[in-house]
Structure 1
Amino acid sequence: MSTVRWLAAAGLTALLGATAPGPSPPPAQPPPQLDDAEVRRAVDRLDGVVEAAMKRTGVPGVAVAVVHDGKVVKLQGYGVRKAGEKAAVDADTVFQLASVSKPIASTVVAGAVGVDGWAKPVAPNVPDFHLKDPWVTSHVTAADLFSHRSGLPDHAGDLLEDLGYDRAYILSHLRYEPLAPFRASYAYTNFGLTAAAQAVADEKGVPWEKLAADTLYGPAGMDHTSSLFADYANAPDRAYGHVKAADGTWKAQYVRDPDAQSPAGGVSSSARDMATWLKLQLGDGTLDGRRIIDAEALQRTHWPEAISNPPHAPAARTGFYGLGWNVSYDDAGRLKLSHTGAFALGAHTNVTMLPGEDLGIVVLTNTAPAGVADAVALDFFDIAEHGQPTRDWIPLVDALYEQQADEGRSKTDYAHPPSGAAPAQAAGTYTGTYRNAYYGPAEITAATDGTLTLHLGPKPQSYPLTHYAGDTFSFETAGENAVGRTGVTFTPDGTSFTVEYLDGEGLGTFSR
């Protein structure tokens, strides 16, 4: 699994809390509350924190919002929307939120179905949605899927999205994925959560994107927020996604269309609108005296539902996942709700709230993860409570990203074939049309010089193959979940081949 996928899944602030020594369970006595002066101290130092992080990492654009005691106490844009251009980030600049879309989606579901709707089976409302076990299919609920305890494997369906399949195809093919024990295991799944959101929308008879607008964005006045990629792409004041080039600079090279997983990762919004949403969250569903979301239904999203990070030492704390939220406790025993969002193709966001303090922050950035979104939030709460950061967060965050990136790569160095490797067979041994029940059709074609190309997906994506040894070739992966070079190994008679990075769950073999 790629770095971005894993850390967005774990929720970085929750992960750091779960692995650090600390009290578990929370203290019996209520923790001392932060006073206004402590919060003001953290707010007053935010400009310096953000600007230092941007200078250190080169991140071109950031937007921040802070809400305290029902008021927006900080709303600021920094830097530029696109590297090399002059248009500045402001409070209304639209960013892609990536997985910060999940707590927004749970807000929408809470408003649409109330408390009882979380416990209803999903399958009747999405007829093409099936899991491998029929009993699990008939019993899995929106709460199960929003808390990632359905038994689906980690990030099930994401590689289908990378290949260009739409939401309907992906949801209808989750039935091929192997299942872990139902409600007894945790694995983060964008398309499991999307299936639950789709079920709610189908029950209401409207597309998910309209349900979100009618239930939350419209009533709350979140005019720069949308669950449609086209709205982000056409926004005149939008932040472009950036990736780091080989020379270390940030380039606006890719555009990530997350419509297939819109409830889980497809929201775009501005710092101003996210401040409004924070006010609603901290206000138990009210906004400036108006009831937008039922209080009990919203509170239900904040409960721990699944253990996402078991303690790894006797003194370590457990991390939990609620309904679209990471749920943890800080060093003082305060309830902390958070989520990280990240696209490897150019987005990194963080939302963190201390509901007992009526305090929350959202940090939006326009690059692939460089630690800034998480570190700014961590520094903010450190400064409020301790007067200064408790550690240098950026290198710690980056080390976690790098560690996970290495784990997602192949153990084989395909760029350096072994000495004396067996030659490939004639190109005709491998060429032809193949099929896979999960990944769909594939074709191997050969150029006049014998060079092979693999074609995958509904609108075939082409991957030139490089010979490695014998009947094994490799290609450079692409898309959100790219993992560098991966292997393609044919059987000697050419009747089938297996793509290494598509075979994590044993589904990556294509047959003639």
Structure 2
Amino acid sequence: MDHAPTSRPAAAVVRTLCTALALLLTASAYAADRGDAAIQAALANGLRPTVLPPNAALPHWSLQQRMAQHHVPGVAIAVLRDGTLVHSAGYGTRQAGTHDAVNADTLFSVGSVSKVVTAATTLRLVADGTLALDQDINGYLRSWKVPATPTVPAPQLTLRMLMSHTSGLGVHGFADYLPGEPLPTLAQTLDGIAPAKNKPVRLIHTPGQRGDYSGGGVMVEQQVLEDVTGQPLDVIARTQVFVPLGMQRSRYSDPLPGTDNIAKAHDGDGALTALPRGWQSFPEQGASGLWTSANDLAAFVAALTASYRGQGSFLPRAIATDMMTEVSPSWHGLGPRLDGTGQTRIFHHGGSNDSYRAWIEGYLDTGDGFVILTNGENGAQLAAEIRNALSDAIDRGVNTPVHTVALDLRDARYADYAGVFERDDAIPMDQRRALADIFDIPALQVKVANGEVRVGVAGTPRDGQVLPLTPNRFVSPDIDGLQIEFHRDGRGQVNALTVVHGEGRARYVRKRT
């Protein structure tokens, strides 16, 4: 044991104590808000759109500029390199018009990012043998059963289906609840009974037939967890995920009165909403009810990538590999969405409640990743621009900018792109992948006029401009990653087009009158 000198002057002792206290406070602040120079530079002048005009230079927007442009008061960001947290910080304020600063421990609602944490909770119980991925969930459900339908008289669903959105269940998402509104129970949500605002969670497809994003399916997953353990989701997740990963701020329930450091909700103009409290409620906990922080989610992303790489014990490597493998015909693995190969192999998921937008992304081969949390209705546009900046800074070749080309679309050679094109449903669902969900459109109307090509839903006025990448390939500036390729055959005729999204393909053929 060391002993302090007995003859040290009192002033020296005071100076030593003050220095030690200052170092302690500095260390605590650094743990909550740390910065990496490359990431800081990207946020200072690296935000950009995904699609750029021909030969355009990157705009080098700052985070502060774009927060003001999108009327988003507060943002929290965390960045991982090789599984290590290298940057975590808050920007702006928790409430517009105040000096209440956001930091990396500020609580945000994260919408559907909740689904990935719910999936991890389930997989921890799979790992310990409590649950099985491919067993009929009827063996687990006690207080509720999936109702039969005329086309599916004896439903047999599995947890693998529920987590990958291949269960055939409906109800894409859920409405938020304002302060003072009564909140539904889980049973009321599943059956669409007031005060629930959603339709009943019921089968709309044959289980396993297609990928169709279903928040309702995740609520059935929550019911499985609660029936098997006899505990509410918040308690299960705390035991299985929050405590093991040190996610001290995270919860699947409304923040308690007196909870500090909460990002308040803001509308599209940046004005405080959901008054008087300043945030909505999200009773559909497993699907969209998680409250958490950038630091907590960074620990979660790091744990998933470490488990996948065989460098962590949060999940067995075999189960982590299952989690990060697409379940055909879905875009999803067991919870997250998946894209890319090699060092560009990533898992990701966004979250969108009324006034909050969130994004997580992990690079499975390298252990890199990031978390973006916002407290404004326009946060999705801002988060996309932040994601671009962070992707560029990480420099793994993911989410690179797309430059369009200059074409004179008034030229007669493009006129025959116009027409109605009907989807070829002979193309298997496992080739359509995400398009079977995010672009489930039976027929497209293509218009060529005034130097523009516009694509919309046939029979409706809705359409949007697509921009040329080549003479026959176009990109949507509105739907991230969506491209359309026109096919001109050996006779010089355009009789078909392909819609492309990542690895998904949907073919459309010209309608003949």
Measure the CA separation in 2 of the matches of 1:358 and 1:215: 22
Task: Please list, as runs of the form range in 1=range in 2, the aligned pairs for 1:331-346 lying within 5 A after superposition.
Answer: 334-344=344-354, 346=355
Paired residue for 1:368?
377
Measure the CA separation in 1 of the matches of 2:333 and 2:398: 30
Task: Please list, as runs of the form range in 1=range in 2, the aligned pairs for 1:314-393 lying within 5 A after superposition.
Answer: 320-329=331-340, 334-344=344-354, 346-370=355-379, 371-385=381-395, 390=401
- Residue 347 of structure 1 deviates from its aligned partner by 0.4
C-alpha distance after superposition, 1:333-388 (max 9, x if no partner):
721211110112x1000011111121101000001234112221133113433699
Measure the CA separation in 2 of the matches of 1:140 and 1:388: 35
- Residue 136 of structure 1 deviates from its aligned partner by 6.8
Structure 2 residue runs without a partner (length 5+): 1-35, 48-62, 193-198, 404-437, 442-455, 462-513
Measure the CA separation in 1 of the matches of 2:309 and 2:364: 14
Task: Please list, as runs of the form range in 1=range in 2, the aligned pairs for 1:132-147 lying within 5 A after superposition.
Answer: 132-133=148-149, 138-147=155-164
Q: 1:267 aligns with which of 287, 290, 313?
A: 290
- Residue 282 of structure 1 deviates from its aligned partner by 1.5
Contact kept, 8 Å, 1:131 with 1:175, in 2: the verdict is no
Contact kept, 8 Å, 1:63 with 1:78, in 2: the verdict is yes
- Residue 235 of structure 1 deviates from its aligned partner by 2.2
Measure the CA separation in 2 of the matches of 1:234 and 1:306: 45
Change (3 A) 1:106 1:249: closer
Secondary structure at the aligned position of 2:391 is classed as: helix
- Residue 163 of structure 1 deviates from its aligned partner by 8.6
Which amino acid in structure 2 is aligned with residue 133 of structure 1? T
Change (3 A) 1:136 1:84: farther
- Residue 323 of structure 1 deviates from its aligned partner by 1.4
Measure the CA separation in 2 of the matches of 1:188 and 1:388: 23
Secondary structure at the aligned position of 1:378 is classed as: helix
May I ask how many residue pairs the two structures share in their alignment? 342
Please tell me whether residue 126 in structure 1 is matched to residue 150 in structure 2.
no
Which amino acid in structure 2 is aligned with residue 365 of structure 1? T
Measure the CA separation in 2 of the matches of 1:120 and 1:321: 19
Q: 1:155 aligns with which of 166, 172, 178?
A: 172
RMSD: 3.5
Please tell me whether residue 46 in structure 1 is matched to residue 43 in structure 2.
yes
Contact kept, 8 Å, 2:359 with 2:373, in 1: the verdict is yes
Please tell me whether residue 205 in structure 1 is matched to residue 226 in structure 2.
no
Paired residue for 1:459?
none
Measure the CA separation in 2 of the matches of 1:171 and 1:234: 31
Secondary structure at the aligned position of 2:304 is classed as: helix
C-alpha distance after superposition, 1:186-217 (max 9, x if no partner):
22111211211320232122221110000110
Which deviates more, 130-139 or 145-154?
130-139
Q: 2:185 aligns with which of 166, 188, 197?
A: 166
Please tell me whether residue 304 in structure 1 is matched to residue 326 in structure 2.
yes
Contact kept, 8 Å, 1:121 with 1:140, in 2: the verdict is yes
Secondary structure at the aligned position of 2:347 is classed as: strand
Contact kept, 8 Å, 1:68 with 1:358, in 2: the verdict is yes
Measure the CA separation in 2 of the matches of 1:91 and 1:249: 21
Task: Please list, as runs of the form range in 1=range in 2, the aligned pairs for 1:482-501 lying within 5 A after superposition.
Answer: none
Paired residue for 1:276?
299
Paired residue for 2:212?
187
C-alpha distance after superposition, 1:410-444 (max 9, x if no partner):
x99xxxxxxxxxxxxxxxxxxxxxxxxxxxxxxxx
Measure the CA separation in 2 of the matches of 1:185 and 1:159: 27
TM-score by length of 1: 0.60
- Residue 66 of structure 1 deviates from its aligned partner by 0.6
Paired residue for 2:469?
none
Measure the CA separation in 2 of the matches of 1:159 and 1:84: 24
Change (3 A) 1:321 1:40: farther
Q: 2:316 aligns with which of 294, 298, 302?
A: 294
Change (3 A) 1:387 1:327: closer
Which amino acid in structure 2 is aligned with residue 329 of structure 1? G
Measure the CA separation in 1 of the matches of 2:210 and 2:328: 8
Which amino acid in structure 1 is aligned with residue 321 of structure 2? Q
Please tell me whether residue 57 in structure 1 is matched to residue 70 in structure 2.
yes
Measure the CA separation in 1 of the matches of 2:156 and 2:360: 32
Q: 2:281 aligns with which of 244, 257, 279?
A: 257
Paired residue for 1:214?
239
Which structure: larger Rg?
A: 2
Measure the CA separation in 1 of the matches of 2:294 and 2:176: 30
Contact kept, 8 Å, 2:169 with 2:201, in 1: the verdict is no
Change (3 A) 1:387 1:333: closer
Secondary structure at the aligned position of 2:385 is classed as: helix
Task: Please list, as runs of the form range in 1=range in 2, the aligned pairs for 1:428-439 lying within 5 A after superposition.
Answer: none
Secondary structure at the aligned position of 1:364 is classed as: strand
Secondary structure at the aligned position of 1:193 is classed as: helix
- Residue 286 of structure 1 deviates from its aligned partner by 9.6
- Residue 285 of structure 1 deviates from its aligned partner by 7.0
Measure the CA separation in 2 of the matches of 1:87 and 1:98: 23
Q: Give me the identity figure in percent.
A: 21
- Residue 47 of structure 1 deviates from its aligned partner by 4.0
TM-score by length of 2: 0.60
Please tell me whether residue 238 in structure 1 is matched to residue 248 in structure 2.
no
Measure the CA separation in 2 of the matches of 1:171 and 1:160: 16
Contact kept, 8 Å, 1:94 with 1:235, in 2: the verdict is no
